[in-house]
Structure 1
Amino acid sequence: MTANTLRTFLLLAGMTALFMGIGYLLGGAAGAMLALIVAAAMNLFAWWNSSDMVLRMHGAREVGADERHPALRQYASDVEFLARRAGLPIPRVFVIESDQPNAFATGRDPAHAAVAATTGLLQRLSRSEIQGVMAHELAHVKNRDTLTMTITATLAGAIGMLANFALFFGGNNRAGLLGSLAMMIFAPMAAMLVQSAISRAREYEADRVGAEIAGDPMALAGALEKIERSARQTMNVGAERNPATAHMFIINPLNGQRMDNLFSTHPDTANRIDRLRRMAGASAAVQPGPWSQRGPWG
C-alpha cells in the first residue's frame, strides 16, 4: 500500500468517524451504529452507481456512436485515442451544457469509467488543450482516483445533511440547541477539510500522468490557464447546486472562490502550471500535437 493510498484510507475513515459522531450526538450509541450502517450503505451505493449518480447531478448527455455534431464526434474520438494510448478501456464520453469550461471523470474502476466535458470547454480550448484536459481525467481513471473522489463527495454531502438534521431536532438530542448549531457549522467544515486533503495531492499527480499520456505538458498548462480564467467569470449551475462534487472537476467550478485557501479542493493553478512547464523543460524537445489552435466549435 502506497503512502498516498494509506493517507486516503485514513482520511475516509476519519470522515466516516465524523458521520458516526454526529449520529451519536443525535441518538447515542444506537445513533452511531445507525450512522455507520448508513455510511456503509452509501459507500456501497456510490461504489455501484458512482458514474450515473454524478452525471445525473450535472445533466450530462452521453455522446453516442450516432452523434451528429462533428465537434462531439471528434471529442469522443480523441478520448478513445488517449485511452488506448494510456492502456485503458475506452470510457463512456459525456457532454455537459455549461458555458464554464471544465471537465471531470467518474466511475468505480477503469472498466466502468466515464469522462465529461462542458460545452464551454469544447468551445474555448484548442484541440491540443482539450486533449490535455481529457488526458488529465484519464489519469484519474488510471490512478483509480474516481471511486475515492465520488465516495468522498457522497459522504461530504451526507455529513452536511445530517448536521442540518441535528439542528432540526434542536434541544431534543444530546448536543442541545447550541451544540446542534455548532455541529451544523463545524461538521461540514471538517468534511470539506478532508475532501481538500484527499483531492489536492491527486490533482498534481493527475497533471503529471495526464501530460505523459497526451505527450505535451504545455497543452495541459495552457488549458489550465484558460479554464482558471474563464471559470472565475462563468457560473456552473450544476456545481453550485451540488458543491460536494466540486473536487471532481479539473478546476474548482464554484464561482468566485480562491484557490489554495484552507478549504480549497484544488491546488493553486499557477503552481500546477509551473510544474507542467518544468516537466516540459526537463523532457526532450516536446513537439506540440498537430491540432488546430482554435476550439473545434469555433
Structure 2
Amino acid sequence: MGYVKTGILMAAMTALFMGVGYLLGGSGGALIALVVAAGMNLYAWYGSDTAVLRMHNAQPVTRGDRYGLTDMVAQLSANAQLPMPAVYIINEAQPNAFATGRNPENAAVAVTTGLIQTLSREELAGVVAHELAHIQNRDTLIMTITATFAGAITMLANFAMFFGGRDNRMGLIGTLAMMFLAPFAAMLVQMAISRTREYAADKAGAEICGNPMWLASALERIQQGAARIDNDVAERHPASAHMFIINPLHAHKRDNLFATHPATENRIAALRQMAGATAPRKPLRPRPTRQNRGGNGPWG
C-alpha cells in the first residue's frame, strides 16, 4: 500500500509540475517540466534520503558512540523486528528527530544534539521508537519524496518572478497567483499524508519501546523546546518540516502554512489513553558507558 500511495504522489506531483511548466512556457514549458519531473522521480527514489540528511548536515554515528545512541537504536530495532538503520546526529540545539529512507533495508534515523541533551533516556527511547515505526510502516519513502517535490515546486513557482510582467502569457496576476498556489498545492499533499501517519507512528512507537508515556513525555518536552528554539536549516527548507517528529518551524509567518502535524496535545492524549490499557514493558537497560554511568550522562 505504501508503494501505491508513493506512486500516486509522484504522479500527482509530476502533473502539478507540468501544470506550472505549461503556465510559465506553454506546451514547450510543459515538455521541459515533464523531462525534469522524470529526472526528479528517479532522483527522489534513489537519492532523496541522502539529500535530506546532507541538507540538515547530519553526521553518521557508529556503534559504541559516547551517547549510547546506536546501542539503543539496535535494541529497539530488534524489538520492531527491523534491520538496524543508519544512525545520524544533527548539531542542532532544537530538540527534534526524523527518519528517512526508501525501505527498511535502506533507512536512517537522525536526532539532534538538542534532543539528546533535553530528554531522559526513556523519553529518547520513545522518540527513536516513533521514528522506527515510520520505517516499519514504510512512511519514510513518501515523506522524503514529498519533501523533495514540494521543495522543487516551491522553487519553480518562485522562478515565476523572473517571467512576470505583461509579456508573460499569464500576466502579472497569474504569475503572482502561481507563486502562491503551487507551493500551497504541494503543502496540501503534505498535510493529507502527515496527520494520520503521525498518530499511527505514535501508536506503533509506543508498542516498540513498551511504554506509551515515554513518548508522551518526550512529545511534550520537544514541543516546548521547538517553540522557543529556532531551527535555521529547517526554516530555510520548510518543505522538509513534515519529516520531523514535531514541526520545527515557528520563526516566520509563512510557517503556519507548513503546519503538517496534528496538535501535540491530541497526540499526547491518545498516548495517555493507550497507556491506561497497556502494561508497560520492562525499562530499557543499555550497556553502561563512561558517559551514562552514574546518572550524569545525557540520559538524565
The equivalent position to 1:45 in structure 2, one of 38, 43, 46, is: 43
Residue type matched to 1:234 in 2? I
State how far apart, in whole Å, the 1-side matches of 2:85 and 2:29 are: 40
Amino acid at match of 2:156: L
Q: Map 1:30-179 onto structure 2 (within 5 A).
A: 30-65=28-63, 67=65, 70-71=66-67, 74-171=68-165, 172-179=167-174
Counterparts of residues 267-278 of structure 1 (less than 5 Å): 267-278=262-273
Amino acid at match of 2:149: L
Q: Secondary structure at the match of 1:101?
A: coil
**Cα distance in 2 between the residues matched to 1:57 and 1:202:** 23
Q: CA deviation at 1:220?
A: 0.3
Aligned residues: 289
Q: Which residue of 2 aligns with 1:213?
A: 208
Task: Give the ranges of 4+ consecutive aligned residues of structure 1 lying more than 4 Å apart after TM superposition.
Answer: 4-12, 290-295
In structure 2, what is the equivalent of residue 296 of structure 1? 298
The one-letter code of the counterpart of 1:266 is H
Deviates more, 1:208-217 or 1:163-172: 163-172
Name the structure 1 match of 2:19.
21
Find the residue that maps to 2:29 and give its secondary structure: helix
Per-residue deviation at 1:36? Answer: 2.1
How many Å apart are 1:16 and its aligned residue? 2.5
CA contact (8 A) 1:91 1:112 kept: yes
SS of corresponding position for 1:255:
coil
TM-score for both structures, normalised by structure 2 = 0.89
Contact 2:24 2:160 in 1 (8 A): yes
The answer as to whether partners of 2:241 and 2:258 remain within 8 angstroms in 1 is: no
Question: For each residue in 1:150-209, what CA deviation from the matched residue of structure 2 results, as whole angstroms up to 9, or x when unmatched?
Answer: 111111111111111122111343212221111112211121111111111111111111
Question: Percent of aligned positions with the same letter in both sequences?
Answer: 61
Distance 1:215 1:194, change over 3 A: same
Please give the alpha-carbon distance, in whole angstroms, between the structure 1 residues aligned to 2:79 and 2:62.
21
Once the two structures are superposed, what CA deviation does each residue of 1:42-101 show, in whole Å capped at 9, x if it has no partner? 12112111221111101111112464xx21xx1111001111111111111000011110
- For residues 19-50 of structure 1, the C-alpha deviation after alignment (integer angstroms, 9 at most, x for no partner) is 11101111212221221221221121121112
- In 1, are the aligned partners of 2:20 and 2:157 still within 8 Å (CA)? yes
Superimposed CA distance per residue, residues 215-238 of structure 1 (whole angstroms, 9 cap, x where no aligned partner): 111100000000001100001122
Q: Does the residue aligned with 1:99 lie in a helix, a strand or coil?
A: coil
- Code of the aligned partner of 2:131: E
- SS at the partner of 2:193? helix
Residue 83 of structure 1 contacts residue 138 of structure 1 at CA under 8 Å; is this kept in 2?
A: yes
| Equivalent position of 1:240 in the other structure | 235
AA aligned to 2:78 is R
| Mapped contact 1:167–1:177 kept (Cα < 8 A) | no
- What are the ranges of 5 or more consecutive residues in structure 2 without an aligned counterpart? 286-291
**Hey, what's the Cα distance between the residues in 1 that align with 2:196 and 2:10?**
15
Q: Secondary structure, in 3 states, of the residue corresponding to 1:232?
A: helix
Check the 8 A contact 2:95/2:114 in 1, yes or no. Answer: yes
The one-letter amino acid of 2:142's match is T
Matched residue type, 1:185:
F
Q: 1:290 to 1:48 in 2, by over 3 A?
A: closer
After TM superposition, give the deviation of residue 13 of structure 1 in Å: 3.3
Query: Are 2:94 and 2:226, in contact at CA under 8 Å, matched by a contact in 1?
Result: yes
For the residue of structure 1 that corresponds to 2:84, the secondary structure is coil
Q: Match for 2:245: what amino acid?
A: I
Q: Does the CA-based 8 Å contact 1:62-1:92 persist in structure 2?
A: yes
Whole-angstrom CA distance in 1 between matches of 2:226 and 2:261: 13
* Conservation of the 8 A alpha-carbon contact between 1:232 and 1:255: yes
Q: Output the TM-score relative to the length of structure 1.
A: 0.90
Q: Is the 8 A contact 2:93 2:113 kept in 1?
A: yes
Cα distance between partner residues in 2 of 1:88 and 1:203? 19
Deviates more, 1:200-209 or 1:261-270: 261-270
